[in-house]
Amino acid sequence: NDVVMSGKGGDGEKIIDPALAGKRAAARRAVEEHIRSNQVVGIGSGTTIISAVERMVELVEARSLNNIVCIPTSFQARQLIIENKLPLGTLEQYPEVDVALDGADEVDADLNLIKGGGGCLTQEKIIASCAKEFFVMADDRKITDALGTYWKKGVPIEVVPMAYRPVQLKIQKHLGGVVELRMAHKKAGPIVTDNGNFLIDWCFDGTPDWLEVDRKLQCIPGVLETGLFLKMAQKAYFGTPEGNVTVR
Ligand code: 5RP
């Protein structure tokens, strides 16, 4: 069940993902329980969403899923929709999304998430915020007691390029921790997001009040969006390497 995939953080390094079976089981179950004909569906980014799209295609081919429109959360999601010949739409055409599906880097007991490990977060958050229902799919390693303990790379934050340095310093000064600019493979340069921005990763200490921290981060000029998805998800599906799924 292992798969070779691009390294976390988009650095191009090849790693083996031992969690694919769990991601796949969670994604398939979420699709079966929540995707229905005539819906506008938000398509998340990462590896887990690939299995969700795969299951949607199977249902479309079996004619038990008809007339859906898929709204991508990234360039990767757009490619995935096109390659799988699913109908593609935009928020301009469909500002109200019925259901959004996405993966996560960490999920706590209140279904608060850290996202953006793969470099996408702003469009993901916009689409999740436009969805009547937002469901998370992940392998069970992503379950955490306290956000920040699994991913250990902190909270990804998308910043306007010319502001990255002052934003970095302001976060360190006012919120503590360490903020790093996310670099491409072999430090070829900073990772550039789908929106033409940079990503910084904030490694913090302790267990902050996430709503307060997110509000403070969002108030810093130059911060476009954070990878903190707080009180957004209605349900999370977690798969084990054996293919079992638990729902929270
Ligand atoms: C992309 C994301 C992904 O949803 C998150 O990183 C989970 O990825 P994967 O499905 O590959 O485990 O936020 O930036």
Q: What is the pLDDT of residues 195-241, one digit of tens each?
A: 999 999 999 888 789 999 999 999 999 999 999 999 999 999 999 99
Mean pLDDT for all residues in the chain: 92
**ipTM above threshold 0.95:** yes
pLDDT (tens digit per residue) in 8-55: 334 444 445 778 999 999 999 999 999 999 999 999 999 999 999 999
Catalytic (active site) residue 124: yes
Cβ 120 under 6 angstroms from ligand 1? yes
**Look-up: residue for tokens 């995707």?**
35
Determine the 3-state secondary structure of 31 from DSSP: helix
For residue 39, how far is its CA from the centre of ligand 1 (angstroms)? 23
H or E element that contains 24 = helix 20-34
Catalytic position from the list 106, 124, 158, 225: 124
Question: Which atom, in ligand 1's list, is nearest to the CA of 139?
Answer: 12
Question: Which atom, in ligand 1's list, is nearest to the CA of 48?
Answer: 10
The larger pLDDT score, comparing residue 245 to residue 204, is at 245
Between CA 166 and CA 162 the distance in angstroms is 9
Cβ 136 under 6 angstroms from ligand 1? no
CA dihedral of residues 77, 106, 97, 27 (deg, nearest 10):
70
Where residue 187 falls among pLDDT bands split at 50, 70, 90? confident
pLDDT (tens digit per residue) in 131-157: 999 999 999 999 999 998 776 789 999
